[in-house]
A and B are shown apart, each in its own frame.
Chain A
Amino acid sequence: MRTSFGKPSPPSEDRRWKIIGATMRRHGYQPHALIETLHTVQESFGFVGEDAFHYVADSLRIPLSHVYGVATFYHFFNLKPQGEHTCVVCTGTACYIKGASLILQAIEDEYGIKPGETSDDGKLSVLTARCIGACGIAPAVVFDGEIVGGVSATDAVNRIRRCLQK
């Protein structure tokens, strides 16, 4: 067990760890900076990995179990790397009424990926969102960070095909 609380060194030479260190420093290494720090980790690496858990827990002087507990409690944090392209289908009420499930079904039929999964070649991740607040243009899908409204099942499959060809 760690007995001294010197400043822990980052897991690797990767410069992105400096950004994460800066976030924690800005909050004075207070335990309440945990969620903000996890956001920075995800923004920098795309997911929150095991090395990040250890580094953050040591730096903020909180138990690893606490960090893991928080990271798994909130849906926003991915614990696994995401595919090169992401497709987030909104499943909010307005999108549900206008057929979001048909979109998910079409994607599954075409690519064999269920929500939350990544294709074997690591090219495509399909995710669902609770509600992205674009209800006025439902059903909405986010392709690589770009919100698109009024998407039909065929549209979705075609767009993904174009994304993958890029």
Chain B
Amino acid sequence: MTPEELYQIAEEEQESLKRFHFRMFVCTAAGCLSSHGDSVLDALKKEIKEAGREEECLCKGVGCMGLCSEGPLVFVEPDGVLYGKVKVEDAKEIVESLGKEPVARLVCPIDLPFFTRQKKVVLENSGVIDPERIEDYIAHSGYEALVQALTEMTPAEVIDGVFKSGLRGRGGAGYPTGLKWSTVSKGVGGAKYVICNADEGDPGAFMDRSVLESDPHRVLEGMAIAAYAVGASQGYIYVRAEYPLAIKRLQTAIRQAERCGLLGNHICNTTFSFQINVRLGAGAFVCGEETALIASIEGKRGQPRPRPPYPAEEGLWGCPTLINNVETFANVPAIIRNGAEWFAAIGTEKSKGTKVFALAGRVKHTGLIEVPMGIPLRDIIFEIGGGIPDERNFKAVQTGGPSGGCIPKEHLDVPVDYDSLSQLGSIMGSGGMIVMDESSCMVDVARFFMEFCMTESCGKCVPCRVGTAQIHDFLQKIINGDAVPDDLEFLKKICDMVKETSLCGLGQTAPNPVLSTLRFFRDEYVNHIVNKECTAGACKVPAKQEVHS
């Protein structure tokens, strides 16, 4: 594949799109599929055929449009109309209304803050292109960055570009991506590897899933650019087996890219060769930790090992290995294409670019959003998310999954960036954002996460294996109304111990949900212990009280 051939494919594809007067996009990502988006797509196609309008009307399945709570979604161009909760029976009416008045009862306003307040970089093609066709991706500037990097830039220039962009790892910890790439590029020895961490284990997070299902080529392109920069020729995508659609689309994308000569040997007639293989996870949360993930690819139990040596020096099979998250790789093509300065202009001083969040829980508009770093939490929840439904009140928002914390309403004006969130005892995390209203008991939320960490602890180090179980039992005791006030101090002590002494990130961050709720919602703990009452009325403490009295 030469640059000229690439541009030719892009042009042909754009030409063929222009031939259609109407274009209908039907969301076929996991959320809308579960409400039968695929049947809606088939029905629309059938109606177009029956109306004899195939020549002027295109209907295609696309990736996630974001507003999962209104799915299945259908977007019509050039009318600019978005339909929500579309049923198979509505297909005929929608096709008939093309170019006329839209079907009013299905219209979903597109001037909602949910759409207008977002800034799309990673998700720019989501909901626009057909994830199962490489031509569609190429027509939207796809693989331009890879060809540009290979033909016009040295590996050092690529790394420099990523470094200057200020991109930080989107998996949660926020390590500067350029720095990691540069360490791997300096690694000595024969083979080097690039691994994409798509083991999205945080409960309540589905960003990586959506990116893989909506725009898989973007991740492949990012990985190939990274491989060129660090000097690797083999890549792996470690993806959860729980995401069958993402796996299928990734495999299709890899095959297509190989056929077009954008992966494989001598890409763009250069000496650069790069293969990508998919490896399936098997339901172990700890495998999101990089050394555990490497062990899992090697066919072993996914248990972490002490660092250093870091994978950048000694990773897969002892070779220098670059591990980045899906979203990190998905940012790379845009950085190369638009320049580091463009990227660095988005976001805050220390956190550049945008972040994708999975907005869920007790909020009106749930779904996938992408916002510039630094946006206040309040704007995400009350403008983009549309606030709390059922006339209830906001209580807390949980970020960072089992490694993060709960942020109360006093701190809603905090800007969303790596450093501000960690000051509040939470973390940016991979991007799960769960909103809770007053019906959620914060002690029970802490117990929920601790139960998760307890079962997911790999058992290798004692503080995590035993400590998480101890903390969980304490929380259960508090919920059952069996605790005494002194227990709170002891609980805090165990939390600190587990945090300080665990081997890997799982144990080191497991106490965060407890510590943050102890910090902001201590009165709820006290209420359970002293008054044997649950503030939210969610736990069954009062029943227990009778037994004790």
Residues of the B chain whose Cβ atoms lie less than 8 Å from the Cβ of A73 = 284, 301-302, 458
A164 close to B (CB within 8 Å): no
Evaluate contact between B241 and A135: CB separation under 8 angstroms: no
Per-residue contact bits, chain A 70-98, to B (CB 8 Å; 1 contact, 0 not): 10011111000000000000011110111
Sort A-B residue pairs by CB-CB distance and give the 4 closest, nearest first.
A136-B68, A93-B204, A74-B282, A92-B203
Contact residue among B33, B204, B298, B362 (Cβ-Cβ distance under 8 Å from A147): B33
Q: Which residues of A in the span 27-58 have a Cβ within 8 Å of any Cβ on B? A: 30-36, 38-39
Please tell me if A130 contacts chain B, counting CB pairs below 8 Å. yes
Question: Complex formed: what's the CA distance from A73 to B287 in Å?
Answer: 11
User: Provided the pairs A73-B302, A93-B398 are in contact, do residues A133 and B448 lie with their beta carbons within 8 angstroms?
Assistant: no
Among the 9-residue stretches B95-103, B327-335, B432-440, the one with 4 or more Cβ atoms under 8 Å from chain A is B432-440
A148 within 8 A of B: yes
Which residues in A have their C-beta under 8 angstroms from that of B35?
Answer: 137, 149
Q: Which residues of B contact A157 (CB under 8 A)?
A: none
Name the residue on B nearest A69 (C-beta): B301
How distant is the Cα of A92 from the Cα of B451 in the complex, in angstroms? 12
Asked whether B361 is an interface residue with its Cβ less than 8 Å from the other chain, the reply is: yes
Instruction: Provide a sorted-by-A list of 24 A–B residue pairs whose CB atoms are within 8 angstroms.
Output: A35-B279, A39-B241, A39-B280, A70-B299, A70-B301, A73-B284, A74-B281, A93-B204, A98-B361, A130-B201, A130-B242, A130-B456, A131-B204, A131-B205, A131-B242, A133-B242, A134-B31, A135-B361, A135-B432, A136-B31, A136-B68, A136-B359, A137-B366, A147-B33
Which among B33, B362, B434 has the highest number of chain A CB atoms within 10 Å? B434
CA distance A73 to B302 in the complex (A): 8
Residue of B nearest to A146 (CB): B34
The residue in chain B whose Cβ has the minimal distance to the Cβ of A38 is B282
Q: Which residue of B lies closest to A92 (CB)?
A: B203
Given contacts A97-B362, A137-B69, contact A34 B299 (CB under 8 A): yes
Set A32, A74, A93, A147: member contacting B302, Cβ < 8 A? A74
How many residue pairs link A and B with beta carbons under 8 A? The number is: 138
Complex CA–CA separation, A79 to B279 (angstroms)? 21
B367 beta carbon closer than 8 Å to chain A: yes
Q: Interface size (A, Cβ < 8 Å)?
A: 38
Q: Which residue of chain A is the closest to B368 with respect to CB atoms?
A: A136
Contact with A along B224-244 (1 / 0, CB 8 A): 000000000000000001110
Contacts of A133 in B (CB 8 A): 30, 200, 205-206, 209, 242-243
Docked pose: A131 CA to B201 CA in angstroms = 7
Chain B interfacial positions (CB closer than 8 Å to A): 30-31, 33-35, 68-69, 71, 200-206, 209, 241-243, 279-285, 296-302, 358-362, 366-368, 398, 401, 432, 434, 436, 440, 448-449, 452, 456, 458
Which chain A residues border B448 with CB–CB below 8 Å?
93, 96
Given contacts A34-B300, A131-B206, 13 further A-B contacts (CB under 8 A): A33-B299, A36-B299, A76-B283, A92-B204, A94-B366, A98-B361, A130-B456, A133-B200, A133-B209, A134-B68, A136-B206, A137-B366, A147-B30
Chain A residues contacting B301 (CB-CB under 8 Å) are: 69-70, 73-74
Across the interface, which residues of A come within 8 angstroms of B200, CB to CB? 133
* Residues on the A chain within 8 Å of B241, using CB: 39, 76
Minimum Cβ distance to chain A for residue B428 (Å): 16
Query: For the complex, is A129 an interface residue (Cβ under 8 Å from B)?
Result: yes
* A140 contacts partner chain B, Cβ-Cβ < 8 Å: yes
**Interchain CB contact under 8 A, B34 and A94:** no
With A133-B243, A135-B358 known as contacts, the answer to whether A149 contacts B298 (CB < 8 A) is no
